[in-house]
Chain A
């Protein structure tokens, strides 16, 4: 609301509407933050404080819950999750980056249909491929392996990586590439010396995003593994029998990378989701 509005309205009504506005924004932010904050506090609270019905906000804190969870097998599951997520980022970028570049920089026959196909595949409920993949993986010796999960996660991440890298390359000014051609660089040199460095910040954000996508995925990981559980699969199958404060420790370890990501890549977050979804 601008200054002219203020002149036209009675001041009391104006301040009331401002107050209402601020109230709604505050309520919304607390609605989002309160559950996160409380689950983290409970993850670090002593069991005594958590089970005491009068201590709404725990006063005594400990790392014992996290340590106990890690000892139960979450340490290895976390490591597995990191390995799977890194493999997923590597595979989906090796396959997806060239395709994204092609969509961004070339005009070719069938481009629109191919792009529509990729958008269509983005919508496909990828989790279901895990069920029939089990029989294929037994034949290939990939059952219960981290590589097997990473290959499935790559299928889920690939359409996203193609669309997002394509839009990142589009945002690199084509004039700079043309100038490089004029100065005698070929397409490969231009790509590695001009385009890639300029696209790097966006690509990094996209890579972290892909990492989180794999880190968060639970259905495929739970179906495809038995002993080599990733963290979400481990939580779903083992940690659910543990005491509540151990579960909250598990949710803390799960959301930590996501919270760090929101902080690092906050600039890219909205545009990236906009692209993934369109």
Chain B
């Protein structure tokens, strides 16, 4: 029993450093597997095979007729600009709809979130089965007598339709993520506020405008930002549905790397996607922190 006090002290010393020991392996792993590739990417992008500084890859990216950088940037942005507002509107409407109680609500909820677990490649293939010349959509319209020859969604000469096909597939597949964030935010709004508003005779619109939207703002913001981050990584759906007809940033990185073996150019694409994401993530964390501070000081 003499050593009791000593034991106790060593126990508390262990307790003090234990969390760091528990976190260190995971953190080192992450820092290595992100830090090393990033520094390697900078080397690949800005040095030649002798290790001298060069802008050859940057020049190729920006000026070579082979490079589709500007198209990729333009189409990635265009896809994001079309898809994200549609997703947010659908997700918002669905969240409001599914937060009221009705028979079969749980079932509807499960069905709505199924696409969450479906990969981009599978999502693309599923929509190919809907929209291809022999797909369900064309066969159905022809059987119904609405069209006489199939509507072409795929092929370089139908690029506008290919764009539409990507939009449909992405809205189908990735709206569920936006829905889950907004739905979770909606669940957290206290019933008391809404009941108080009802007591004072507030209409549905007034409740939406002055209670639900302001309280949903944090969820809407994070949903928007997360979708924007994902939008710059769009790859599988586009590759499956259109190949390089509609070039996107990640798709060009893949093409330069695996088809042309331009490792430096692929690394540049990687750095560009990382830089865009870090800027978006920075904005997100700033907003997250500001909200946290506001909530703490308000509460």
Chain A residues packing against B (C-beta within 8 Å): 1, 21, 24-25, 28-29, 31-36, 38-39, 42, 50-51, 53-56, 95-96, 98-99, 101-103, 106, 108, 111, 114, 116-121, 123-129, 131-136, 151-152, 154-155, 158-159, 162, 187, 212, 215-219, 222-223, 232, 235-236, 240, 244, 247-248, 250-251, 254-255, 258-259, 261-262, 266, 269-271, 273-274, 277-278
B126 to chain A, nearest CB (A): 4
Against A, the Cβ 8 Å flags (1 = close, 0 = not) of B72-111 are 0000000000000000000000100110101010001111
- Could you say which of A159, A244, A270 contacts B180, with CB atoms under 8 Å apart? A270
- Could you say which of A35, A212, A222, A270 contacts B126, with CB atoms under 8 Å apart? A35
- Could you say which of A32, A98, A106, A120 contacts B172, with CB atoms under 8 Å apart? A32
B151 to chain A, nearest CB (A): 13
In the bound complex, residues from chain A placing their C-beta under 8 Å from that of B10 are none
Interface residues of B in 184-216 (CB under 8 A from A): 184
Q: B117 interface residue, CB < 8 Å from A? A: yes
Q: Determine the distance from Cα of A81 to Cα of B1 in the docked complex, in whole angstroms.
A: 56
Residues A125 and B139 in contact, CB atoms below 8 Å apart: no
The answer to whether A218 and B235 touch (CB under 8 A), given A31-B172, A123-B277, A136-B40, is yes
Q: B161 interface residue, CB < 8 Å from A? A: no
Q: How large is the interface on B (under 10, 10 to 19, 20 to 34, 35 or more residues)?
A: 35 or more
Residues A32 and B112 in contact, CB atoms below 8 Å apart: yes
Q: Determine the distance from Cα of A228 to Cα of B289 in the docked complex, in whole angstroms.
A: 44
**Which of the listed residues B20, B29, B113, B266 has the most CB atoms from chain A within 10 Å of its own CB?**
B29
Residues A102 and B22 in contact, CB atoms below 8 Å apart: yes
Chain B: which residue is nearest A215 at the CB level? B119
**Which of the listed residues A24, A55, A126, A219 has the most CB atoms from chain B within 10 Å of its own CB?**
A219
- Could you say which of A35, A121, A125 contacts B232, with CB atoms under 8 Å apart? A125
In the bound complex, residues from chain A placing their C-beta under 8 Å from that of B113 are 262, 269-270, 273
Residues A39 and B130 in contact, CB atoms below 8 Å apart: yes
12 A–B contacts from the bound complex (CB under 8 Å):
A53-B150, A117-B27, A119-B285, A127-B250, A129-B34, A131-B257, A132-B270, A219-B236, A251-B121, A251-B122, A254-B121, A255-B126
